[in-house]
């Protein structure tokens, strides 16, 4: 089974964090956690509301991290959950809360608007309402919207103010609160700002109501960004059937323990990882590896929790349960990838770190500018409020993480695991893909690929003779010969005598005749004249095949050619890599002649032959030193140093441990076509991130001057701000269905 570089010594903690609303919240939490001794890195994801913290072995404990989060603002880490099963934060509760508050706020705001526009409402009870009563009714209704429905904005803003901090809640609270207080002052002190000054209670109420609506849609959309991971978590059944003595007992899957004997019937899913003790079945592993065809599994084979047994009753021994299963570890890997920031997000982080203070200054400047220009105080305040509301940096904070979440989630469903957002971003920027040959482009096991016979023999008779002679050999070449005979339906006998000649071949007696099957030296040592076989063997040697020369009773009979065979999708994958504008390069330890033959079959123009395992790292570094951005693809055994050194290392392998302990990217199905899919998905994700960041920046750059100029009312500003966040998340969700 392939292996990969060892994990770093540091450990990782995944912290769910409540109370974050914008990019500035993210930065404060990261800064607070990052100050703790022993913390290597802290990446906070606004979309998942989680922090991925990398900690040295002697670093802070979970409780220390929780306290650090609390010092950053009005944030809280829920108590660590108990139980065997991994879970994701439930976005539906948050969405329901916003929906309830929005509905109440919308009803109160609608009544407020009807009263505000009573002169245009054809209802006598409203039209005849005294002006003074109507104004006080507006104040009461607006107070209900702000301080009941929008209470959280003001509570969080107040707590931030005590710490001399500000975030999105500050902008909303100050904006809506200013409009409300201005109206209250006008109401209590008529004529303070002129006789024709309007009340703006409706603006304050609409700000809160529209932002609540935006938050509701945002929460719903964010729930969809983690849908792929939720589907992975939902794969494992809720119940398991186990043997207790001689009885079959159905128990909750969370009650399974290592060593249990569990039973899976046709059409059922494996409830945990294990090793088959009895029975066999075709197992559908597509939900884990992305490979569509079922694979045969029998006694001694490993099975993965969540995969589907198609036929046959299986009895298996449970080896891993709950959060230790391959599926749970894959989910954790995906969530870790979603928690690590992509390099492209750095610009957004730098802007967000100073965004809120700058917006507040612009708002004050807007107020002062209107006053100096002789504008009405009413218009000045409304313009300043509009600046505060329109500039909330929600979209900026969601631009990158939502795209990364959807991209890594979709990749996981396709059997592609990214260890982090940097790998997701960099894979699409590659200029060269270095492909190890054995196990990556080829199946990694020898197969009979050619037969040449001398007069007196047929291909079938020669293969039967060779398979009989090799029957008791354990050599991989012997297994290739036996497999070829079985595939052709050739029945093999048993040699009367058998002896393996180490490093050379086999010596067998069949029906009284001495049969030799092996290399040139074996036959020559037995006095066989091998020159008649040279012409037969020449094409096989040129193609880099391993030769099996055969003789019967000292007379040459023929030659078998054995070689590693290409994976079915290898040539198409290479063509697709080139179609992306990326150069494929093949690395192999084979001779130059053999490598050239393989390269031609694949359509690869550039190859490096006779490369020793320890020299692969050197070859990758040469390409990088020449300015190439390199993706290295290998099976992880001798490729580990090169995988680690490349800009992006992709590990090919279907073993579950390989999948978890992968380089930067793991292709779980072992199909080289996954390299192309990973690169295409990387490019689409990066394109989506750039779109999101462009519109988030462009929106603020365009909208702030419009708001400062009085061209946007506070209500319109609130609606536009809410729409910007929803549009960013919705744009990211398109990655779920984009063609790759």
As a 3-state breakdown, the chain gives helix, strand, coil percent values, each rounded to 5, of 50, 20, 30
**CB within 8 A of 727, min separation 6: which ones?**
395, 695
Identify whether the C-beta of residue 210 lies closer than 8 Å to the C-beta of residue 720: no
Nearest residue to 432 (alpha-carbon basis) of 626, 568, 615: 626
- Separation between Cα atoms, residue 563 and residue 560, nearest integer Å: 10
**Strand ranges of the sheet holding 555-566, from the earlier edge strand across to the other edge:** 442-453, 555-566, 546-552, 513-518, 505-510, 497-501
Active site annotation includes 436: yes
The most distant pair of C-alpha atoms in the chain lies apart, rounded to whole Å, by 124
Q: At what angle do helices 570-579 and 592-602 cross, to 10 degrees?
A: 70
- DSSP letter, residue 255: G
Pairwise CA distance, residues 702 & 392, whole Å: 13
Place of tokens 């070449």: 477
Closest C-alpha among 451, 456, 455 to residue 467: 451
Residue 538: CB atoms within 10 A of its CB come to 12
Could you give the C-alpha distances from 435 to 235, 296, 631, 646, 708, in angstroms and in order? 33, 28, 9, 12, 56
Query: 255-285 b/e with 16+ CB inside 10 Å = b?
Result: ebeeebbbbbeeebbbbbbbebeebbbebbb
**Alpha-carbon separation of residue 562 from 459, 534, 702 (angstroms):** 14, 16, 68
Nearest residue to 270 (alpha-carbon basis) of 244, 230, 297, 290: 297
Report d(CA 550, CA 520) in Å as an integer: 9
- 167, 260, 436, 639: the catalytic one is 436
Rounded to whole angstroms, the Cα distance separating 695 from 528 reads: 79
Place of tokens 């006008």: 186
Tokens of 164: 């001399």
Dist CA 683 CA 675 (whole Å): 12
Dig out the tokens for 389 from the structure. 């509301």
Report, as residue numbers or ranges, the catalytic residues: 436
């Amino acid at each position: 089974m392939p292996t990969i570089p060892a994990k770093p010594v540091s450990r990782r903690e995944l912290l769910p964090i409540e109370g974050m609303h914008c990019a500035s919240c993210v930065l404060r939490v990261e800064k607070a956690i990052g100050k703790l001794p022993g913390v290597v890195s802290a990446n906070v994801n606004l979309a998942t509301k989680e922090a991925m913290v990398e900690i040295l072995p002697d670093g802070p404990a979970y409780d220390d991290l929780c306290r650090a989060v609390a010092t950053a603002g009005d944030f809280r880490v829920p108590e660590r959950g108990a139980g065997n099963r991994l879970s994701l934060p439930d976005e539906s509760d948050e969405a329901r809360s916003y929906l309830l508050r929005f509905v109440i706020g919308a009803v109160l705001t609608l009544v407020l608007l009807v009263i505000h526009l009573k002169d245009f409402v054809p209802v006598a009870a409203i039209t005849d309402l005294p002006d003074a009563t109507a104004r006080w009714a507006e104040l009461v209704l607006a107070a209900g919207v702000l301080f009941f429905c929008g209470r959280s904005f003001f509570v969080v803003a107040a707590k931030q103010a005590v710490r001399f901090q500000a975030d999105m809640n500050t902008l909303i609270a100050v904006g809506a609160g200013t409009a409300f207080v201005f109206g209250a002052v006008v109401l209590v002190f008529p004529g303070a700002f002129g006789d024709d000054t309007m009340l703006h209670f409706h603006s304050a109420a609409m700000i809160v109501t529209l932002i609540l609506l935006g938050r509701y849609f945002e929460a719903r959309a964010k729930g969809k960004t983690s849908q792929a991971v939720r589907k992975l978590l939902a794969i494992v059944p809720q119940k398991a059937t186990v043997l207790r003595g001689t009885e079959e007992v159905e128990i909750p899957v969370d009650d399974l323990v290592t060593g249990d004997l569990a039973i899976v019937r046709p059409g059922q899913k494996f409830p945990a990882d294990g090793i088959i003790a009895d029975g066999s079945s075709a197992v559908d592993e597509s939900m884990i590896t992305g490979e569509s065809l079922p694979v045969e599994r029998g006694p001694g084979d490993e099975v993965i929790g969540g995969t589907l047994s198609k036929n046959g009753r299986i009895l298996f021994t449970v080896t891993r349960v709950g959060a230790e299963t391959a599926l749970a570890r894959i989910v954790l890997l995906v969530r870790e990838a979603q928690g690590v920031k992509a390099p492209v997000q750095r610009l957004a982080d730098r802007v967000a770190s100073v965004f809120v203070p700058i917006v507040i200054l612009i708002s004050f400047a807007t107020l002062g500018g209107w006053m100096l220009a002789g504008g009405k105080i009413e218009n000045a305040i409304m313009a300043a409020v509009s600046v505060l509301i329109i500039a909330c940096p929600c979209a900026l904070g969601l631009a990158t993480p939502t795209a990364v979440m959807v991209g890594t989630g979709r990749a996981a469903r396709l059997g592609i695991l990214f260890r982090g957002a940097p790998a997701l971003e960099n894979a699409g920027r590659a200029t060269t893909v270095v492909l190890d040959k054995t196990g990556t482009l080829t199946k990694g096991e020898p197969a009979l690929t050619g037969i040449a016979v001398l007069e007196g023999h047929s291909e079938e008779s020669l293969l039967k003779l060779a398979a009989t002679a090799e029957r008791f050999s354990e050599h991989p070449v012997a297994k290739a010969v036996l497999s070829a005979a079985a595939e052709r339906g050739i029945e093999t006998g048993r040699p009367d005598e058998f002896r393996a000649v180490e490093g050379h071949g086999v010596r067998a007696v069949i029906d009284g005749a001495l049969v030799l099957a092996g290399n040139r030296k074996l036959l020559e040592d037995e006095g066989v004249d091998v020159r008649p076989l040279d012409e037969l063997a020449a094409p096989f040697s040129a193609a880099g095949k391993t030769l099996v020369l055969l003789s019967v009773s000292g007379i040459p009979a023929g030659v078998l050619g054995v070689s590693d065979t290409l994976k079915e999708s290898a040539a198409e994958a290479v063509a697709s890599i080139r179609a992306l504008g990326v150069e494929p390069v093949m690395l192999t330890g084979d001779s130059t002649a053999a490598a050239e033959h393989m390269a031609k079959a694949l359509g690869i123009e550039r190859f490096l032959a006779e490369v020793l395992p320890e020299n692969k790292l050197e070859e990758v570094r040469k390409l990088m030193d020449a300015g190439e951005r390199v993706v290295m693809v290998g099976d992880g055994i001798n490729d580990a140093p090169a995988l680690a050194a490349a800009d992006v290392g992709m590990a090919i392998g279907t073993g579950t441990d390989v999948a978890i302990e992968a380089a930067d990217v793991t292709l779980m199905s072992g199909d080289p076509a996954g390299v192309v899919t990973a690169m295409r998905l990387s490019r689409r994700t990066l394109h989506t991130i750039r779109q999101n960041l462009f519109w988030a920046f462009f929106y603020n750059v365009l909208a702030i001057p419009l708001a400062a100029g009085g061209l946007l009312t506070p209500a319109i500003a609130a609606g536009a701000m809410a729409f910007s966040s929803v549009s960013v998340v919705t744009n990211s969700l398109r990655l779920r269905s984009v063609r790759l």
